[in-house]
Structure 1
Amino acid sequence: MTVSLPQPRQLPKIDPVTAQVVAGALNGIALEMGHKLARMSYSSIIRESEDFGAAILDADCQQLAECAYSTPLQLGPIPGYMRGVLKAMAEEGEEFYPGDVILHNHPYYGASHGPDIGIGIPIFKDEELIGYSFTTAHHLDIGSSSPGSCGIVDAVDAFAEGLQFKAVKLYEKGVQNRQVWRILRQNIRSANVVVGDIEAQVAACRVGEQRFLELVEQYGLDTVLAASGELMAYSERMMRQAIERLPDGEYYAEGFIDGFLDDPDPGKKDLKIAVTVTIDGSDMTIDLTGTAPQVDDRPINMPFVGTVDIAIFVTLRSVLLDTALMEYVPQNSGLTRPVHIVAPKGCLANPIYPAPVIARCCPGNIVADTLMKALAQVAPRNVSGGIGNIKVTSYSGALDEDYWVYMDITEGSYGGRYGKDGMDGVDTLYANTRNNPIEDIEAHLPLRVTRYELIEDASGAGKYRGGLGSIRDIQFLAPGQMSLEGEGNKYAPWGIFEGKDGTPGAVQVFNPHEETMEDLPSKFPCRKTKLGDTLRTVSPCGGGYGNPLERDPALVLEDVLDEFVSIESAKRDYGVVIDPVSLKIDALATADLRQTMAG
């Protein structure tokens, strides 16, 4: 069968009302896909934390709509996934047919990293390819050298990170490729859960395919594409207007990632992220020249397409099109048109295959964080102080013959921003997953959460204080193993505009039946555990925004009463004197102290 490829078409002029009606229908399709995926999934990382993406693309891989409930790091890369699929298929002389379902997770062909599996369905109408229904999701295991899909920080190359699927068909012309499903079941730990999640992705894609065809049947393909084109043009126009409001010029910032602090090789730690923002009218270039070279045998490199570009796009949207300050701008491919990204081949932000990349999440957060620092020079009221990065742990073990795997996130924090304190205990920047309830963990796994709370008296002081990170203790109720990836144990989140730096994070392991406590770095490979072993993960606390002496004393008192800030810190950092008995502000003493501290 010969499939007609998408051809340039003359689209009708669309009125604003019809465009908005079609946009609402497209968003409804993406939301239904997301709900279907979340409700059918087996694993908590998809079901509870919503670490998935769902979107509808046109035949040119432009994103028409996305599920707003899912995380940016899953949604944003979807056009790149699909372009990578088409590139891989072209290399092999493959083509799409009605009834095909594609499996794809290759991080050098658009995927964010191996565990984020993409499932796509080409949408045909009368043998014409008109679009794609696509989902992504983070899976608990992908057959890597050690259990789980995070903390694989000793992977020496991309092959050690797990199974690689480069545009492999799960179904071809509607017929299930049974051998691929057998490979999945035979090579993945906790296979029932992972394969069940993949089946949920397929089901969600089928919903998207069906609903998109119904929409095309109702309005006609030309009308749907014309409405989508109008919305993409609108999003592009709004982004260009936001860029034009900034002064032309070059703006530079740099940040650092821990890397492997316990490694004697200086090329594997204290690694620089360099960002130069160039504004020229309504165009913006983000240049990462000066970023540290890739680490050939450790997986903290970041795919240029799928991680680095998404960190940049999400940050720019958040800073320049803040929905708290302006009307909502539709999320689609039009937003990325004014932005150009440059990263030298062979650096951390544009590695050369087969450099490993599976632990790219936390370094990518530093790319976003450093970009925000550069933008502070031109958009000071739209940025926050430095963010407190997350930590991601893989817990696993065997109960009888059942292999269990669990992925847990210790939430981080945001820095203070103009008019607001930093957010406490949240996933940050482009990851943005939800917290997994303790009840869900303890009901399904041989783990017990013995401590989970905000960190007191550690946020960066400022007119608007930094957010509080979180501390989490998880204890093994049976022997198992664990591994960890994270950042921020050495480099504290930065303060801004006279705000103070936040505090770094920490990792410790101990057993309540013993008297020892071991300090660990921000990332460690798989290590065995015994009954009672407990991992404590401490996230960094966000940087402050503005001079702490300008903070309203009443807000400082409120923080003291909430036990966010101690009486001693209130006096030392904010110049606010609080009586320890009455817990009231001594106004005269505060005024005198602030005058003295101000010099």
Structure 2
Amino acid sequence: MTAQGPAFDPVTLQILWSRLISMADEAAAALLRTSFSTIVRESNDFATVLMDAEGNSLAENSIGIPSFVGLLPKTLRHMLAEIPLAELRPGDCLITNDPWMGTGHLLDITMAQPIFRGDKLVGFAGATSHMPDIGGTLWSADCTEVFEEGLRIPPSKFLIEGKENRELARIIRGNVRVPDQVMGDIQAQVTATSVCARRVLEFLDDTGLEDLVALSATLQARADAAMRKAIAALPDGTWHGTVYADGYEDQETRIQCALTIAGDQLSVDYAGTSPQIARGLNSVMNYTYAYTVYPLKCALDPLTPRNEGSYRAVSVAAPEGSILNPRWPAAVNARHLTGLFLSGALYQCLAQIVPGMVVADSASPAPRPVYTGRDNNGDRFSQVLFGSGGMGAAAHRDGLNTTAFPTNSGSGSIEAFEASAPILVWKKDLMPDSGGPGQFRGGLGQEIELEVMTQESVRLSLIADRMKHPAGGLDGGEAGAPALVQLQDGRKPHPKSRSTLQPGDRLLMHLGGGGGYGDPRARDPAAVKRDLADGYVSPEGAQRDYGVTP
């Protein structure tokens, strides 16, 4: 197929766009198949992106995690500010995990490979994934500065003309607890970007295009136009939303949101949000941006494929020095304990304008336990269990059970988790009555029980919230069940700190339910009886919340 000049007819454009997305998806498949850690293989904590020669995203993989949405181009521009284009050669691959340049904490490594066609730079292939370890004090929320949280890799060349930068690789290996897993995942990112680069060259040969310039401009303009059309259909004005998080001990945090629509432009201002905290709950501006634009895209323009143009009509501001835009060197390791609350504030605003287009609050962030120690063979392990609470209900349907939003990470295979660490999963059950009551019920949360199977003690780092502030409902819907973390004897470890577990200790976690939508007494009695039959609602819950006698 050949496209002549900068103009593309709609059919050709859709075919080309779909092929670009398939390239990003093929790169994602390569990353999944070659990665070492369950964080990538099972929990979906990664993204792959194809960018043009100026670093604008053309296509993102279909199932990439939302916390990376729109960020790889920003990270690439930081990289190129330190490693200029003139210094790039075929076979190079750039790397960094700087939180303020990338996705907000040191555990996410971003890599970008320049794509050359002959001597001409035609694009970049990028990948970001969450590492199983980055040294420091584990993945935790209780550090006070970023220096404690692990190894920082400034923008560097991991590959130099196709050859590994051995000194950099040695530094990384020497600073992490599970070096084989970490280096395996980094090499998987190299594989992913290489696959994407090869497919781009094949694409240019097949289409007869000299480069991606005209196609990139057209696709970005199309994505921009789609988002602007969706925004322009809304009334002008400013709306406000507020959500609260548990924060750290007695330091409760607040997110204050003002959403303004003016014609085909939408701006979000987080003025009034809590100041940054001396713990790892701070969300850098990149992460705040990602978890602002993604929920808006889901609500307003869910069907158009996303690229750099999708977000041009949206501006995001947060006060410097706030928990949504902290000053370096703030601790940021558990920034998702703040960023995942943004969709709730945004949807409070949109619910005042277009209530049918948003969902009630979801039970994210759900508790995450990080275990590290030595197994019974003396080998080091570091393993995290990703789990999901319930999703919020919509104006026309119940929330999804144990489904995360706005993130999309999940636990994956329990067998794979148990094979990677000496932790036994005794229970993983839905919790009756955990979904917020409403005309449409919030999605159910789950109960998980884990036992330490080692012969020596292990370190546990808990990263949890939603104990005090469960997922709220909308339009008369009620909140879902709160989260809970405790040991088998009833003791409650600190939800955002590190502790020691002994062999045989069992950790019990409740991952809360999503918020309900609409008045619970308006729920169809037949739906309540189906919930009773399925075990989603108890007889007591049916009577108490819905006025339905079993």
48-57 or 93-102, which deviates more: 93-102
Q: Quick check: 1:103 aligned with 2:95?
A: yes
1:131 corresponds to 2:104: no
**Aligned partner of residue 206 in structure 2, secondary structure:** helix
Show structure 2 runs of 5+ residues with no match. none
1:509 is aligned, of 451, 476, 487, to 487
Q: Is the 8 A contact 2:92 2:162 kept in 1?
A: yes
CA contact (8 A) 2:55 2:123 kept: yes
* 2:422 alignment partner, one of 433, 446, 451: 446
Q: How does 1:405-554 map to 2 (within 5 A)?
A: 405-429=382-406, 431-478=407-454, 479-510=457-488, 516-525=489-498, 527-554=499-526
What secondary structure sits across from 2:125 in the alignment?
strand
**Corresponding residue for residue 359 of structure 1:** 334
Indicate the larger mover: 418-427 or 109-118: 109-118
Instruction: Give TM-score scaled by structure 1 length.
Output: 0.88
Task: Measure the CA separation in 2 of the matches of 1:356 and 1:375.
Answer: 31
Offset of 1:438 from its aligned partner?
1.5
Question: Kindly tell me: are residues 118 and 518 of structure 1, through their superposed partners in 2, closer, same or farther at Cα, counting changes over 3 Å?
Answer: same
* Aligned partners of 2:52 and 2:216 also within 8 Å: no
Residue 410 of structure 1 aligns to a residue whose secondary structure is: coil
1-structure distance, mates of 2:15, 2:480: 46
Give the structure 2 partner of residue 589 of structure 1: none
Distance 2:461 2:340 in 1: 20
Larger radius of gyration: 1
Other structure's SS at 1:255 match: strand
- Contact conserved, 2:383 with 2:420, CA < 8 A, in 1? no
Alignment of 1:192-231 (within 5 A): 192-222=180-210, 224-231=212-219
Distance 1:33 1:438 in 2: 25
Amino acid at match of 1:384: V
> Does structure 1 conserve the Cα–Cα contact (< 8 Å) formed by 2:387 and 2:410?
no
Cα deviation, 1:72-124, whole Å, max 9, x if unaligned, reads 2234421222122123336xx98322221111110111333211101111112
Alpha-carbon distance between aligned partners in 2 of 1:533 and 1:518, rounded to the nearest angstrom: 11
Distance 1:14 1:123 in 2: 23
Q: How far has the Cα of 1:371 moved from its partner?
A: 1.0
**Structure 1 unaligned regions, length at least 5:** 1-9, 323-327, 511-515, 579-599
CA RMSD, aligned part only?
A: 1.7
Q: Give yes or no for contact 1:476–1:532 (8 Å, CA) kept in 2.
A: yes
State the distance in 1 between where 2:408 and 2:191 align. Answer: 24
* Alpha-carbon separation, structure 2, partners of 1:378 and 1:522: 36
Q: Distance in 1 between matches of 2:96 and 2:209?
A: 27
Contact 2:69 2:290 in 1 (8 A): no
- Structure 1 counterpart of 2:15: 21
Q: Counterparts of 2:209 and 2:177 in 1: how far apart (Å)?
A: 43
Aligned to 2:268: 286
**What amino acid is the match of 1:523?**
K
TM-score (norm 2): 0.95
Residue deviations 1:365-401 (CA, integer Å, cap 9, x gap)? 1012211111111110011112112122211111344
Amino acid at match of 1:316: L
Q: CA deviation at 1:521?
A: 4.4
Q: 2:83 aligns to what SS in structure 1?
A: helix
AA partner of residue 333 (structure 2):
I
Identity of matched residues, %: 34
Deviation at 1:39, TM superposition (A): 0.4
Q: Kindly state the Cα deviation for residue 484 of structure 1 after the two structures are TM-superposed.
A: 1.1
**Equivalents in 1 of 2:56, 2:531: separation in Å?**
46
Note if contact 2:385-2:417 (Cα within 8 Å) is conserved in structure 1: no
1:318-353 CA-partner distances (Å, limit 9, x unpaired) = 11124xxxxx30111111010011111100111111
Aligned residue identity for 2:463: E
Distance 2:405 2:441 in 1: 16
Query: How many equivalent residue pairs?
Result: 543
Conservation of the 8 A alpha-carbon contact between 1:22 and 1:224: no
**Counterpart residue type for residue 55 of structure 1:** V
Q: Distance in 1 between matches of 2:268 and 2:69?
A: 21
